[in-house]
A and B are shown apart, each in its own frame.
Chain A
Amino acid sequence: MKLAVRVSMILALVALAAISAALLFSVPADAQGPVLADPECLGCHADSNLIKTLPSGELLSLYVDAALVAESVHGKKNIACAQCHSTITRFPHPEFVVADRRDVTLKLYGQCRQCHAENYSKSLDSAHTRALAGGDRNAAVCTDCHTAHTVTPPDQPRARIPQTCAQCHSTIFDDYAKSVHGADVLNGANPDVPTCIDCHGVHNIGDPTTAAFRLKSPEICAGCHTDPKRMAKYKISTNVLNTYVADFHGTTVQLFEKQSPDTPTNKPVCYDCHGVHNIRKPNDPNATVFKENLLKTCQQCHPDATDQTFTAAWMSHFDASPAKYPLVYYVNLFYTILIPLVIGGMALFVALDIYRRVRRLTPNADKPKTNRE
């Protein structure tokens, strides 16, 4: 009896474990189970000559390279074709009606949402989705960046990220590739320099042309440029944000950002002077902030400034010292001495005056009384 009970309990536990394991290791879509097995799909779609002419006149290859799919992140997890192509439930399947090649992508990319709901919903806030909703069929969707069948980790290697964006933003990529950041990513895969997504975000890429983005942008640059660890490697000052905010331009931008984030301001942010994608080292003769180019950069906003001396009105992110901006340094020093001296003197005099009045009010202090007599 006892043995029978024990055996049945063990069996029950094993069964429970098996069920849990099945639940744990199953891929989410497995719950429904693919109706079709991959070989059935590949029966036709492994044919590299399977090409369809679309109503637009474009040709659409229906070929799927099973080997590449198997190497993809999905292939490695044995995700079946029909798990993504979930509308295909039987063989043969009804005709997939599309107008043109772009239509194929736009009709299918929504399938990613099944498993990647978080990133999918993030992407709904992106400039791409907004452009798509506004009728721009070229706006990127999931598969434009990730591909459909050959999905591999998009940041391996890191230099792949700008290449992905370059598919549509090639002119910006060309600028970026020549910049201090881009050159280091593309040539050396330097992990310290930003790729596109470090500044623009990944799935919820915002519209970088809004006032809000512009006002917030110094924080993006400051993310790295105030990090002492990262900056020490390149001997770059981490004081760049502080000196910017301390100045007229930065003070204004910071206040706008906090108080009226959607109101445009004509005061510059980092990239107005340093360049957007084409940022170069300040000592690069092609840099917008290179000494000889600085006046031209200032003239973007100050067209009347024609004197090279004007550029020195901006302290180039330096703190005033006897070596750099001595005039400012000595003015500050003068007031550092003058203010305590004057105000201290005044306060001391006032304190003495109060001291006399208080002493006179005190009954025991008979001295002033004698004085009066």
Chain B
Amino acid sequence: MANEQFYERFPRAQRLEHWLLVFSFTVLAVTGLPQKFAGDAWAETLIAGMGGIEMVRVIHHLAAIVLLLESVYHGVVVAYKMFVVRVRWTMFPQLQDAADALNAVLYNLGVRKNAPEFDRYSFAEKAEYWALVWGTVIMAFTGFMLWNPIITSRFLPGDAIPAAKAAHGAEAILAALAIVIWHFYHVHLKTLNRAMFTGKLSAPEMRAEHPAELARIQAGASEPIPAPALIAQRRRGFIPIATVVSILLLLGVFLFITAETTAVTTVPKPSAKVQVFAPRTLTPTRVPTRAATALPGQTPIAQPTQKPSIGPAPIPASHAGRAVCQVCHVTGVGTAPKNPADHAGRLDASCTDCHKPK
């Protein structure tokens, strides 16, 4: 339509900020929530898919760095707008917002005839912005504590760390649900608001979403742009302060990332070295006491001449040619030595296996 007019809503720089936020928030949620619910199957699948828990933590930290840097940048930009350009504080919560919220509910219920007319930022947008600020501050502080527990414990009691973990995880759930319910509904479901992509809204969209702002623009009450000389004067005060604050904040981010390596210095974990093989005796196999006593000695063993009982007795020379041993030796005929009891049942054929001729 020829007469269709567009109104700028978000300049390129703000849209870029939003994309940084979309990226870091999404990555933080996708890598963070599975850590909170690590026992659940879906979380394990996600963690495995992202390369394991240690990789997930590295990605989470990288996304946190992006969000921290974006937050520092945002702070500086907001300060510049507030103190140098001195814009209207359109994002600042006002009593009107509470009234708008109440009226919106009443309108939805059909109690009120007309919808509340929003200015540049509706109560819903302000709520989301400030929830994000609150959430980021909480996440940054608790995240620092989890990332740097040793330094934290120098300033705070130790139980602040598990408390930080509890807050970090709970805040994450709050943030993720708020985005899904509040943000997605208002800018994607209720109406597809393209302002963050294109930077502008059409006149009908302005009428529907920001009628008060549209009226203001149409009345010609656009914001007065300060004279360049005035801006330059204000900058002279702003830039040194902003530089110092930015450097401090960036140092804070640097400290955040590098201050502590926790257990990393001990990879791989030093395992306690124990002497595994430490036998109680040099010879773990058991030896009968008789032999054991003999062991340390020189040779108190088997000397057939001294101890005839050891080993089979030799066959005397006079026995040459004899083959029937048992005839005499079973009963011990004459001087023939009687077979020991354990020889019972042995046959002639096996005698010479042990008893050799002299």
Which residues from chain A sit less than 8 Å from chain B, CB to CB? 37, 39-40, 42-44, 46-51, 59, 61, 63, 65, 91-92, 101-102, 104-105, 136, 138, 143-144, 147, 150, 166-172, 175, 209, 245, 247-248, 251-252, 254-256, 258-260, 263-268, 272, 276-277, 300-305, 307, 309-315, 320, 325, 327-328, 331-332, 335, 338-339, 342-343, 346-347, 349-350, 352-353, 355-357, 359, 367-368, 371
Contacts and interface: CB of A to CB of B under 8 A. Distances in A.
B223 interface: no
Contact of B174 (A43, A209, A314, A342): A342
A167 B178 contact: no
A17 B319 CA distance: 53
A331 B272 contact: no
Interface in B266-325: 266-272, 274-281, 283-288, 290-291, 294-295, 301-302, 307, 309-310
Interface of B: 35, 38-39, 44, 47-48, 52-54, 101, 104-105, 107-110, 113-114, 131, 149-150, 152-154, 156-163, 165-167, 170-171, 173-174, 177-178, 181-182, 185, 190, 260, 262-272, 274-281, 283-288, 290-291, 294-295, 301-302, 307, 309-310, 340, 342-346, 350, 353-354
Instruction: Tell which of B158, B177, B182, B279 has the most Cβ of chain A within 10 Å.
Output: B158
Given A51-B291, A350-B182, A44 B354 contact: yes
28 contacts: A39-B342, A43-B340, A51-B294, A61-B287, A61-B291, A168-B284, A171-B275, A248-B165, A251-B35, A255-B52, A255-B53, A265-B54, A265-B269, A266-B263, A303-B266, A304-B260, A307-B154, A313-B161, A327-B157, A327-B159, A331-B170, A332-B170, A343-B178, A350-B181, A350-B182, A356-B109, A359-B110, A368-B110
Nearest to A41: B342
Contacts of B274: 171-172, 175, 276-277
B174 A312 contact: no
A335 to B, nearest CB: 3
Contact of B354 (A92, A276, A350): A92
A339 B342 contact: no
Contacts of A325: 159, 162-163
Given A255-B38, A259-B47, A349-B108, 19 more contacts: A39-B345, A44-B354, A49-B310, A59-B291, A167-B284, A169-B276, A172-B278, A209-B271, A251-B53, A266-B263, A266-B264, A309-B157, A310-B150, A327-B160, A327-B162, A338-B174, A353-B185, A355-B109, A357-B190
B320 to A, nearest CB: 21
B163 A49 contact: no
A15 to B, nearest CB: 30
A255 B47 contact: yes
Given A310-B153, A331-B167, A300 B284 contact: no
B177 A313 contact: no
A56 to B, nearest CB: 12
A356 B44 CA distance: 41
A339 B167 CA distance: 11
A313 B158 contact: yes
Contacts of B105: 349, 352
A48 B287 CA distance: 11
B322 to A, nearest CB: 20
A172 B340 CA distance: 49
A301 B261 CA distance: 11
Instruction: Tell which of B53, B154, B265, B295 has the most Cβ of chain A within 10 Å.
Output: B53
A168 B178 contact: no
Nearest to A356: B108
Nearest to B142: A331
B301 A59 contact: yes
B174 A335 contact: yes
Contacts of A101: 283, 285
A104 B131 CA distance: 79
A335 B47 CA distance: 25
Contact of B342 (A46, A303, A331): A46
Contacts of A61: 287-288, 290-291
B260 A39 contact: no
A335 B171 contact: yes
Contacts of B108: 349, 352-353, 355-356
Contacts of A312: 153, 157-159
B174 A65 contact: no
A350 to B, nearest CB: 5
A59 B297 CA distance: 11
A59 B310 contact: no
Nearest to A351: B108
B158 A51 contact: no
Contacts of A104: 285
B44 A255 contact: yes
Nearest to A102: B285
Contacts of A268: 269
A245 B39 CA distance: 8
Contacts of B154: 307, 309
Given A39-B345, A327-B159, A335-B166, A254 B38 contact: yes
Contacts of B344: 39
Given A101-B285, A310-B149, A371 B113 contact: yes
A49 B294 CA distance: 10
Given A51-B291, A65-B288, A144-B285, A356 B174 contact: no
Contacts of A349: 101, 104-105, 108
Given A63-B290, A167-B280, A309-B158, A350 B167 contact: no
Contacts of B38: 251, 254-255
A328 B279 contact: no
Contacts of A266: 263-264, 266-269
Nearest to B127: A346
